[in-house]
């Protein structure tokens, strides 16, 4: 199947105002602003005391524990919750392939907007990174105006480009010095991206929301058809029960410590996404 032509506006059928309303409603539904601080560092709230190590600041010595244990201990505090959030949106041609009215890309941009607003509500700076050939890379900001500007720019992207998700992940691994949250919205059609994600997950909080079209898991509801791969232009013949979705990708990501959720674009997703995000508070990064 070839990607839909034109811009995203012709895919989601929403004008700018309608899109903004949809994003705000999604952010309210997700209620993604109650997560506890998952990292320990020099913050505000006391977390624990640990043995003193060479180079630790003397002013952080816990004198009570030191006196009780007979050797120096250091106070540690919960790091501030204002951890930067990077939303990596796959802008490649395969994301615009759609067997229904709504494309994977259209839904990915809406979800990115909802997550961005939710993150801004807890004062976490948000940056949006486009993972296609065209350069679209923004630094994290607390401005809602900038966030909507970036989202509207993404909605007007053309979809005749190849995925550069692996390259973007490589760039982030070199430029991100402090821990950050990385949320990838993609159909994961590029080899090598999983390995880069697993490397990033060793230092950062990584989440993958994998967008899936019904045609990719055998629910096309049609007979035999001829299609063309959106990124390689390779032709193929398929039928209504052909499967292009690989469950091993999800298993590989989870083994690498990366939280993964399948988002099937023809099914309601808010409940499962909200549960997924709430579950991460209990057994995700915060439980480590």
Given this model, what pLDDT does residue 233 score? 54
Given this model, what pLDDT does residue 208 score? 94
pTM for the predicted model, two decimal places: 0.71
Instruction: For residues 215 and 243, state if they share a domain.
Output: yes
Structural domain includes residue 133: yes
137 beta partners: 129
Given this model, what pLDDT does residue 204 score? 92
Asked if 98 and 4 count as a contact pair (C-beta separation under 8 A), the reply is yes
Given this model, what pLDDT does residue 163 score? 65
Asked if 23 and 121 count as a contact pair (C-beta separation under 8 A), the reply is no
Q: Give me the phi and psi of 64, to 5 degrees please.
A: -65, -50
Structural domain includes residue 4: no
Structural domain includes residue 1: no
* Tokens representing residue 207 in the block: 């989440």
**Residue ranges in 31-101 assigned as alpha helix (H):** 63-69
Structural domain includes residue 3: no
Q: Residue 267's domain spans which residues? A: 9-36+80-287
Instruction: For residues 53 and 15, state if they share a domain.
Output: no
Instruction: For residues 206 and 123, state if they share a domain.
Output: yes
Given this model, what pLDDT does residue 155 score? 82
Q: What is the C-alpha radius of gyration for the chain, rounded to an integer number of angstroms?
A: 21
Domain CATH code at residue 26: 3.40.50.410
Instruction: For residues 24 and 112, state if they share a domain.
Output: yes
Residues of the chain with pLDDT under 70: 1-13, 31-45, 78-81, 132-137, 157-163, 218-246, 280-288
Structural domain includes residue 2: no
Asked if 57 and 127 count as a contact pair (C-beta separation under 8 A), the reply is no
Instruction: For residues 63 and 87, state if they share a domain.
Output: no
Instruction: For residues 68 and 154, state if they share a domain.
Output: no
Instruction: For residues 113 and 230, state if they share a domain.
Output: yes
Given this model, what pLDDT does residue 22 score? 86
* Domains held by the chain: number: 2
Instruction: For residues 86 and 160, state if they share a domain.
Output: yes
Structural domain includes residue 158: yes
Measured CA to CA in angstroms, residue 287 lies from 143, 194, 252 at distances of 30, 23, 21
Instruction: For residues 156 and 283, state if they share a domain.
Output: yes
Given this model, what pLDDT does residue 5 score? 43
Structural domain includes residue 23: yes
Given this model, what pLDDT does residue 190 score? 78
Instruction: For residues 53 and 194, state if they share a domain.
Output: no
Instruction: For residues 91 and 70, state if they share a domain.
Output: no
Given this model, what pLDDT does residue 68 score? 93
Given this model, what pLDDT does residue 287 score? 36
Given this model, what pLDDT does residue 134 score? 60
Residue 221 region by backbone torsions, left for phi larger than 0, else alpha for psi between -120 and 50, else beta? left
Q: Which residues make Cβ contacts (< 8 Å) with residue 267, sequence separation at least 6? A: none
Given this model, what pLDDT does residue 229 score? 53
Structural domain includes residue 235: yes
């Amino acid at each position: 199947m070839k990607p839909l032509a034109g811009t995203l506006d012709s895919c989601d059928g929403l004008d700018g105002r309608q899109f903004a309303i949809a994003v705000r409603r999604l952010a309210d539904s997700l209620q993604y602003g109650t997560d506890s601080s998952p990292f320990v560092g020099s913050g505000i709230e006391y977390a624990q005391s640990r043995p003193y190590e060479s180079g630790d600041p003397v002013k952080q010595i816990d004198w009570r524990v030191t006196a009780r244990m007979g050797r120096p201990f250091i106070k540690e505090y919960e790091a501030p919750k204002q951890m930067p959030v990077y939303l990596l949106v796959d802008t490649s041609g395969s994301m615009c392939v759609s067997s229904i009215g709504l494309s994977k890309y259209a839904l990915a941009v809406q979800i990115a907007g909802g997550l961005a607003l939710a993150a801004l509500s807890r004062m976490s700076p948000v940056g949006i990174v486009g993972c296609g050939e065209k350069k679209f890379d923004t630094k994290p900001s607390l401005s809602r105006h900038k966030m909507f500007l970036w989202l509207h720019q993404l909605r007007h992207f053309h979809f005749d480009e190849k995925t550069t998700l692996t390259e973007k992940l490589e760039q982030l691994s070199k430029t991100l010095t402090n821990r950050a949250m990385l949320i990838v919205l993609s159909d994961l059609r590029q080899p090598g991206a999983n390995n880069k994600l697993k490397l990033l997950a060793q230092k950062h909080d990584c989440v993958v929301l994998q967008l899936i079209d019904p045609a990719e898991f055998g629910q096309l509801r049609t007979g035999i058809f001829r299609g063309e791969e959106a990124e390689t232009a390779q032709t193929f013949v398929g039928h209504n029960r052909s499967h292009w979705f690989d469950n091993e990708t999800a298993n590989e990501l989870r083994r690498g410590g990366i939280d993964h959720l399948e988002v099937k674009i023809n099914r309601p997703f808010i409940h499962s996404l909200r549960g997924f995000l709430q579950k991460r508070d209990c057994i995700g990064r915060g439980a480590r």
